């Protein structure tokens, strides 16, 4: 693990690290190993555990185990709960995907709250090998076959994986040497889950019949592809910047005649920059978007995961909500002053907390998410916070401007399509517009300095 940390420069000395611990062998080993190197690396460790609300008493036991382990090591521990089954039903996704999303949001939220510089997760070599095989079976491109990255950013927070070069056998040997216990999740043995079938059936068969070192070979292949992807991505950034207009639309003429490999990379990066979940993009969908790009004339659209679509209009491609050409229904929802509020239509997540600091949008694009803002507590007072859709006649007193301005004029200045305006959330407090996410707050709600407590609000799409 220390070799991986040094070679990948994963964790800088003095980092405040939030360690994700489920109680299983991998995460228990990760916490113990980081605790052993905490003094020489001057690490400050915290522990985070999310109860997914799925396995009853067994999950309660996992949480208690993690709390006891953290206390024994002298680490602060935060335990959260999420109704993963409800999230999965609301979003129409698998329980596994809903659990992953809930877990990373929980970790990112608490990393920001605790002031942690990064989150550490316990993905190990077996997880990497499984991921590569699953991506290969789904027909993914070379960037996806690069597998799990040692370091990435999720919801604005760095995530590091120090165990990616460590096998499960090494993990268990490490724990046995220290006479350390861990928890076993019975669902990890259920063959109904695709990843479990890869773990318990496909990989052992490949090791027996093809290559006994198959896990390390797949991990090495992922590493090679990751290095090549990083190099090509660097070359791509400059080219993409020259192909996108001031409204974020992809100019067809600047891309259409490029080699197919370049077009694919430009398309994927453009989609990712626009917030599309490219990890869910199939090869066939990507090729359909490429065909739309290569047409010499005409219009059309291609549906994407996450309720999005790529639409061609004249000489540009536009990334938008699938129903962007139809005004959505009006919405109005009271927001909790502390904690999490979930909206199903539009699908949004709002997190509020009270702590010092100033975060604000600086006159960007109205409705661009995720977005964050800080509001004066005394300006909010005892008023309710309401997230609602735009209404004709709405006005705001924007911070940095004199007088007030019609929200409709802000939309026009920002070139927001008329059909999309009804889906842009506005934050109302005491009957006044306090914030247009992606744009700016009202000056009456501006926090005077970064040392006083403020109401911190973050809005992100579900």
* pLDDT for the residue 185: 82
Total domains present in the chain: 3
Do both 382 and 287 map to the same domain? no
Query: In the structure, what pLDDT confidence band is assigned to residue 182 with cuts at 50, 70 and 90?
Result: very high
Residue 222 lies in a domain: no
Inside any domain, residue 139: no
Out of 164, 180, 198, a domain closes at 198
**Torsional class of 205: left (φ above 0), alpha (ψ -120 to 50), beta (otherwise):** alpha
Could you tell me if 75 and 157 lie in one domain? yes
Residue 191: is its pLDDT beyond 60? yes
Task: Tell me 408's DSSP state.
Answer: H
106 and 54 share one domain: yes
For 36-65, write each residue's pLDDT tens digit: 999 999 999 999 999 998 888 889 999 999
- Boundary residue ending a domain (182, 198, 214): 198
CATH number, residue 351: 3.50.40.10
The answer to whether residue 204 is domain-embedded is no
Give the relative orientation of helices 25-41 and 168-177 as an angle to the nearest 10 degrees. Answer: 70
Look at residue 382 in the predicted model and tell me its pLDDT: 85
> What percent of the chain clears pLDDT 70, i.e. is strictly above it?
97
**Is residue 326's pLDDT more than 70?**
no
Handedness of CA 227, 231, 233, 234 (dihedral sign): positive
Name the 3-class secondary structure at 347. strand
Type and span of the H or E element at 223: helix 214-241
Rounded to whole angstroms, the Cα distance separating 61 from 301 reads: 49
pLDDT score, position 314:
74
Residue 121 has a pLDDT of 97
Give the residue with greater pLDDT, 402 vs 163. Answer: 163
More confident: 167 or 276: 167
Pick the most confident of 162-176, 287-301, 314-328.
162-176
Residue-range definition of the domain harbouring residue 187: 2-124+146-198
Q: Are residues 27 and 80 located together in one domain of the fold?
A: yes
User: Do you know the residue count of the chain?
Assistant: 462
Is residue 46 domain-shared with residue 184, that is, in the same domain? yes
137 in a structural domain: no
Longest dimension (CA), the chain: 75
Encoded tokens for 119: 């989150």
Q: Model-level pTM?
A: 0.67
pLDDT tier at 8, thresholds 50, 70, 90: confident
Q: Are residues 161 and 273 in the same domain?
A: no
What pLDDT was estimated at residue 136? 87
163, 41: one domain: yes
User: Computed over its alpha carbons, how large is the radius of gyration of the chain?
Assistant: 24
CA distances from 165 to 8, 27, 122, 207 (A): 11, 14, 11, 18
Instruction: Check residue 307 and give its pLDDT.
Output: 74
Contact 147, 132 (CB under 8 A): yes
Look at residue 130 and tell me if it is in a domain.
no
The per-residue pLDDT for 61 is 94
Q: Of the candidates 301, 321, 341, which is a domain's last residue?
A: 321
pLDDT over 60 (residue 258): yes
Other C-beta atoms closer than 10 Å to the C-beta of 344 total: 11
Q: At what angle do helices 260-273 and 214-241 cross, to 10 degrees?
A: 80
Top mean-pLDDT range of 65-69, 275-279, 320-324, 351-355: 65-69
For the stretch 311-330, what's the b/e string if a residue is b when 16 or more beta carbons lie within 10 angstroms of its beta carbon?
bbeeebbbbbbeebeeebee
Task: Answer whether residue 41 is part of any domain.
Answer: yes
In this structure, is residue 129 part of a structural domain?
no
- Residue closest to 156 by CA, chosen among 460, 398, 377, 419: 460
Please tell me the distance from the alpha carbon of residue 263 to that of residue 276, in angstroms, as a whole number.
17
For 107-161, the pLDDT digits (tens) are 999 998 889 999 999 999 999 999 999 988 877 777 778 889 999 988 889 999 9
| pLDDT of res. 397 | 93
Average pLDDT over residues 342-357: 88
- CA dist 216 and 169 (Å) reads 12
Quick one: which of 387, 348, 386 has its CA closest to 369?
A: 348
| Cα–Cα distance for residue pair 240/254, rounded to 1 Å | 9
For residue 160, the model assigns a pLDDT of: 95
- Check whether residue 21 and residue 151 sit in a common domain: yes
Same structural domain for residues 283 and 402?
A: no
- Give the Cα separation of 368 and 252 in Å (integer): 23
290-296 CB contacts, 8 Å cutoff, 24+ apart: 290/260, 290/263, 290/264, 292/317, 293/250, 293/252, 293/255, 293/256, 293/263, 293/267, 293/317, 294/256, 294/263
Of residues 307 and 303, the one with the higher pLDDT is 303
pLDDT tier at 72, thresholds 50, 70, 90: very high
Q: Which residue has the tokens 């209009």?
A: 313
pLDDT digits (tens, 9 = 90+) for 201-242: 999 999 999 999 999 999 999 999 988 888 887 777 777 888
pLDDT at 388 over 90: yes
- From residue 275, how far is each of 27, 147, 314, 418 by CA, in Å? 30, 20, 23, 21
Mean pLDDT of the chain: 87
Are 347 and 375 in a shared domain?
yes
Q: Shortest CA distance to 249 belongs to which of 317, 299, 322?
A: 317
Query: For the segment 74-107, what is each residue's pLDDT rounded down to a tens digit?
Result: 999 999 998 888 888 877 778 888 888 899 999 9
Instruction: Check whether 335 has a pLDDT greater than 80.
Output: yes
Within this chain, do residues 192 and 100 fall inside the same structural domain, yes or no?
A: yes
Of residues 329 and 155, the one with the higher pLDDT is: 155
CATH number at residue 294: 3.30.465
Task: Kindly state whether residues 350 and 418 are assigned to the same domain.
Answer: yes
């Amino acid at each position: 693990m220390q070799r991986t940390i040094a070679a990948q420069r994963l964790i800088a000395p003095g980092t405040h690290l939030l360690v994700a611990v489920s109680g299983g062998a991998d995460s228990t080993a990760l916490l113990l190993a980081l605790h052993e190197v905490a003094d020489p690396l001057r690490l400050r460790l915290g522990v985070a555990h999310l109860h997914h609300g799925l396995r009853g008493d067994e999950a309660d036991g996992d949480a208690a185990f993690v709390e006891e382990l953290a206390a024994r090591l002298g680490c602060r521990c935060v335990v959260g709960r999420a109704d993963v089954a409800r999230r999965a039903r609301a979003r129409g996704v698998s329980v596994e995907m809903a659990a992953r999303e809930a877990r990373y949001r929980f970790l990112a939220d608490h990393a920001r709250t605790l002031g942690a510089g990064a989150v550490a997760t316990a993905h190990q070599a077996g997880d990497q090998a499984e991921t590569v095989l699953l991506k290969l079976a789904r027909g993914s491109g070379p960037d996806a076959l690069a597998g799990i990255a040692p370091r990435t950013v999720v919801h604005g927070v760095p995530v590091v994986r120090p165990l990616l070069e460590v096998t499960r056998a090494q993990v268990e040997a490490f724990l046995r040497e220290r006479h350390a216990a861990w928890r076993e999740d019975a669902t990890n043995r259920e063959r109904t889950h695709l990843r479990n079938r890869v773990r318990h059936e496909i990989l052992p068969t490949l090791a027996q019949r093809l290559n006994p070192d198959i896990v390390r070979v797949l991990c090495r292949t992922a590493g090679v592809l990751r290095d090549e992807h990083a190099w090509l991505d660097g070359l791509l950034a400059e080219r993409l910047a020259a192909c996108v207009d001031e409204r974020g639309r992809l100019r067809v003429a600047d891309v259409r005649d490029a080699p197919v490999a370049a077009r694919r990379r430009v398309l994927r990066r453009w989609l990712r920059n626009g917030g599309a979940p490219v990890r869910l993009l199939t090869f066939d969908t990507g090729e359909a978007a490429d065909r739309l790009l290569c047409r010499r004339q005409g219009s059309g659209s291609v549906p994407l995961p996450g309720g999005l679509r790529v639409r061609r209009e004249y000489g540009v491609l536009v990334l938008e909500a699938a129903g962007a050409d139809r005004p959505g229904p009006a919405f109005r929802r009271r927001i909790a002053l502390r904690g999490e509020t979930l909206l199903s239509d539009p699908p949004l997540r709002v997190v509020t907390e009270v702590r010092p600091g100033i975060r604000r949008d600086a006159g960007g694009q109205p409705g661009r998410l995720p977005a964050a803002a800080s509001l004066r507590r005394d300006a909010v007072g005892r008023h309710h916070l309401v997230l609602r859709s735009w209404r004709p006649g709405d006005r705001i007193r924007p911070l940095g401007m004199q007088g007030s301005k019609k929200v409709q004029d802000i939309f026009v200045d920002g070139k927001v399509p008329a059909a999309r305006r009804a889906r842009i959330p506005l934050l109302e407090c005491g009957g006044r517009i306090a914030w247009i996410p992606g744009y700016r707050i009202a000056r009456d709600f501006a926090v005077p300095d970064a040392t006083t407590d403020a109401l911190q609000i973050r809005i992100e799409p579900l």
